[in-house]
Amino acid sequence: MKLSARDAAGYFRKPDPEGAGLLIYGGDAMRVALKRQDVIKALVGENGEEEMRLTRMSGADLRKDPALLGDAIKSQGFFPGHRVAFVEDATDTVAKAITPALADWEPGDAQIIVTAGQLNARSALRKLFEGHKTAYAVGIYDDPPSRDEIEANLRDAGLSNVGRDAMDLVIAYSREMAPGDLRQTIEKLGLYMLDSKDEITVADVEACAPQSNEAGLDDVLNVVADLKTKEIGPLLSRLYAQGTQPVALCIAAMRHFRQLHVAASDPGGPSAGIGRLKPPVFGPRRDRMVRQASNWGRINLEEALSTITEADLTLRSAHTAPDRALVERMFIRLAMLGRRRS
């Protein structure tokens, strides 16, 4: 039978122990793999593979030897508990090999878990599982995880005392990160907060999120927006040593000052404007951007955007001045502009 997206989330965490099997298919192999891991873990536990209650085979193996699956679901091991026969990377070409295994399946046999790529409505595999009385089929799409799924992942990692802003940040990350990266971030957060009774904050989540050169870009942009002229040169030297290109700095500056301009232009004030940014901004970074937007004001930020646009056009055209010098001069001009007008 076919599982709806709403029912599937609960089924992955608590599969039917008396079911004959489950087909999980979708275009994103990582999303399919994560759901398959959840189901198999729920059925055989953490030690299922060590106790030989999990039999793995690929779709290619099954095509070569169609009897593999039938033997796997009937074989008995030394350890008690549920057993799983897992077929990975299946296609419609193995439907004929899976059909007799499902037909011969009886209570007490190993449950058949099959993963596949994208399957259309005419797929033989889909028809086989959707038409079976005690087997299930579910499609995995590229939608971000729901709040319930995120909360369940947090609970699995031992995280229950999550602050509101921290939860909002995790949800925002779920819209941007790949599923595997999000799960790793939550698991890392669980280790980071191990034995701690404190409420999880935005800073805790950011400390466990994947690091990139964005943090360094933020540093130099905040130095400019906070009018700290003397710190611009050393920060730029460090970024250039990391391989950051002048054009990337210009693009980042345009994005940052556009966000400040949106906030400063909001009728409800900078705080309301920051709240409407996409992706959302949280924690200390939000407070800093509200302060920067308030200090600069809409008119000054429009002049700053003109300065950045001029530098960006120069970088992208034929010119004789060194790119790095152009960007450093632009940042110094911005900081001096803010200092003169603030």
Mean confidence (pLDDT) of the chain: 88
| Sole residue written with tokens 């400390």 | 207
| CA 60 vs CA 53, 64, 91, 94, 183: distances in Å | 22, 6, 9, 8, 29
What span, in angstroms and rounded, lies between the C-alpha atoms of 188 and 262? Answer: 34
Whose CA is closest to 169, among 206, 214, 219?
Answer: 206
Residue 92 has pLDDT above 90, yes or no: yes
Q: Do 271 and 336 belong to one domain?
A: yes
Residue 285 has pLDDT above 60, yes or no: yes
| CA 255 vs CA 192, 326, 334: distances in Å | 32, 18, 14
Q: Do 153 and 275 belong to one domain?
A: no
What span, in angstroms and rounded, lies between the C-alpha atoms of 162 and 159? Answer: 7
Q: Do 189 and 172 belong to one domain?
A: yes
- pLDDT for the residue numbered 342: 46
Q: Residue 284's pLDDT band (boundaries 50, 70, 90)?
A: confident
Q: Do 132 and 168 belong to one domain?
A: no
Please say which residue of 186, 208, 230 terminates a domain: 208
Q: Do 129 and 59 belong to one domain?
A: yes
- pLDDT for the residue numbered 224: 92
- The predicted model scores a pTM of 0.60
Q: Do 79 and 24 belong to one domain?
A: yes
164-184 confidence digits (pLDDT tens): 888 888 888 887 777 888 888
Q: Do 174 and 218 belong to one domain?
A: no
Q: Do 283 and 332 belong to one domain?
A: yes
241-258 confidence digits (pLDDT tens): 878 888 889 998 999 999
Residue 117 has pLDDT above 60, yes or no: yes
Average pLDDT over residues 203-226: 79
Q: Do 131 and 177 belong to one domain?
A: no
Which carries the bigger pLDDT value, residue 179 or residue 228? 228
**AA letter at 316:** R
What's the angle, vertex CA 256, arms to CA 255 and CA 261, rounded to 5?
95
- pLDDT for the residue numbered 214: 53
Token reading at 182: 């999000």
> Who's near 219: CB < 8 A, 6+ residues apart?
235
- pLDDT for the residue numbered 231: 87
- pLDDT for the residue numbered 340: 59
Q: For the chain, how many structural domains are there in total? A: 3
Q: Which residues pair with 137 in a beta bridge?
A: 2, 23
Residue 280 has pLDDT above 80, yes or no: no
**Torsion over CA: 208, 211, 217, 219 (sign):** positive
Residue 116 has pLDDT above 90, yes or no: yes
Q: Residue 291's pLDDT band (boundaries 50, 70, 90)?
A: very high
CATH number, domain containing residue 67: 3.40.50.300
**AA letter at 255:** R
Please say which residue of 83, 106, 140 terminates a domain: 140
